[in-house]
Amino acid sequence: YFNCGTCYSCRRGLVNACTGNETMGVQREGAFAEYITMPVERIYDGKGLDPKVLTLIEPFCISYHGVQRANVKAGEKVLVVGAGTIGVLAAVAAKAKGAEVTICDVAPDKLEYACRTFGLDHKLLNESPEAFAKALICLEMSFASFRALLRSKYWLSFSEENRFGSFCSMGCCIGPSCP
């Protein structure tokens, strides 16, 4: 992140929620550009680690940090929204802490892969705003929520309401169990 350092979020140390955030590869050129500029204090030595391992450090750190901030405990029910890389790694981190993990996505193949490969407890297919809203109220269970790559138009209001480093709890109907 390239943050402004002066907005409300930055002053609170929540630089990832900066109102003027510029993320590499999103609001500014990413590392696949021919040339990039980077402040020297943001460059880290890979210390001989395999490049394939190094590529997973950033998404895993984001995911694990979210699980830590949500203070996930053994036996809790956790809903992870998004079965992309960051979402799946958040689910794995929550599962490692002993949580019962439900992963939600709009892509059935991604849900199947995440559950089958990582032994997640449940999957929830977000087929439509109506189906998802019904699922959220059909059981009153408390979930720590993670916002992993919230690109779905169904989540726009949810993501806007949860800016500035807040967490929310929600109820959710648990979908079919993973094999």
Looking at residue 136, its pLDDT comes to: 59
- For residue 23, pLDDT over 70 is answered with yes
Measured CA angle at 28 (ends 26, 34), to 5 deg: 110
Mean per-residue pLDDT, 72-88: 87
What tens digit of pLDDT does each residue of 106-150 get? 999 999 999 999 999 988 888 887 766 666 554 334 333 333 323
- For residue 171, pLDDT over 70 is answered with no
Looking at residue 27, its pLDDT comes to: 86
Looking at residue 113, its pLDDT comes to: 96
Mean per-residue pLDDT, 6-21: 90
Token duo for residue 113 = 């892969």
Looking at residue 154, its pLDDT comes to: 37
Distances from the Cα of 172 to the Cα of 63, 92, 108, 121, angstroms: 21, 19, 18, 14
- For residue 157, pLDDT over 80 is answered with no
Specify the amino acid at residue 111: L
- For residue 49, pLDDT over 90 is answered with yes
Q: How confident is the model at residue 160 (pLDDT cuts 50, 70, 90)?
A: very low
Whether this prediction's pTM lies above 0.85 is answered by: no
Among the listed residues 150, 149, 141, the one whose alpha carbon sits nearest the alpha carbon of residue 122: 141
